[in-house]
Amino acid sequence: MPKNLDFVQAASIPLVSLTSYQALVEYGHLKHEQKVFIQAGSGGVGTIAIQITKALGAYVATTASGKNSALVKSLGADKVIDYHTEYFADELRNYDIAFDTLGGNFLKDSFKILKAGGHVITLNGLPDYRFGVDHDLGRTRSILFEIASTHLRHLAKKYHVFYRFFIMHPSGSQLATITKFIEEGKVKPIIDKVYSYNQVFTAYDHLQSKHAPGKTVVKINV
């Protein structure tokens, strides 16, 4: 637990920070001064992903609504695209990493903005054969993943980039790195609302609205 956070703040960190760190560093192989696009920058993952990217010395573009533009800029975003008036695939080119959190056409169009050799990393795409093998899901299931993700692999081949779907895995060493970022003031938790345990269904409804900036925390008093 970072020394400069309380329990509510600390509770909001592990899932989104490990997800962001693994997408950018473990799978995207992020390097200093590269250009990174992060979809949905004001969300729970996006707010932390922006900060980790900046802590590692890279350039960040992201999408956000007009009302959340100031928030993502305060976190370090270099370029903010208002998704109500602009479309990211029309505005961006020659990026090194696209971190997709939405899937669908947003994922498909992420391939267009990358330079050759870039990485599309997604939480909402389709697993491929490698994912099945890495997670010991068996040859049959891995082959089915490979078939299902054919159109995404074709896009990767067309644009000469790498595609990776992933699910976050625990890592104490990565959490130690993130803790250092937090204690150095390079990353901070962004919490939208805190609910009590008897408000858990209200908290869930709030999350389902898809418009909550940062994280929502349920506090359990014992």
Each of the 222 residues of the chain gets a pLDDT tens digit; together they read 999 999 999 999 999 999 999 999 999 999 999 999 999 999 999 999 999 999 999 999 999 999 999 999 999 999 999 999 999 999 999 999 999 999 999 999 999 999 999 999 999 999 999 999 999 999 999 999 999 999 999 999 999 999 999 999 999 999 999 999 999 999 999 999 999 999 999 999 998 887 789 999 999 986
Report d(CA 38, CA 8) in Å as an integer: 25
pTM of the model: 0.95
Read off the tokens for 102. Answer: 């939405």
Amino acid at 208: Q
Determine how many CB atoms are found less than 10 A away from the CB of residue 118. Answer: 24
Q: Which two tokens stand for residue 140?
A: 């049959």
Q: Decide: 139 and 180 in contact? Cβ < 8 Å.
A: no
Q: Are 69 and 41 in contact (CB under 8 A)?
A: no
Quote the tokens at residue 77.
Answer: 């975003």
Taking the domains of the chain in order of start, what are their residue ranges?
A: 7-173
The fold for domain 7-173 equals Rossmann fold (3.40.50)
- Measured from the Cβ of residue 22, the count of other Cβ atoms closer than 10 Å reads 18
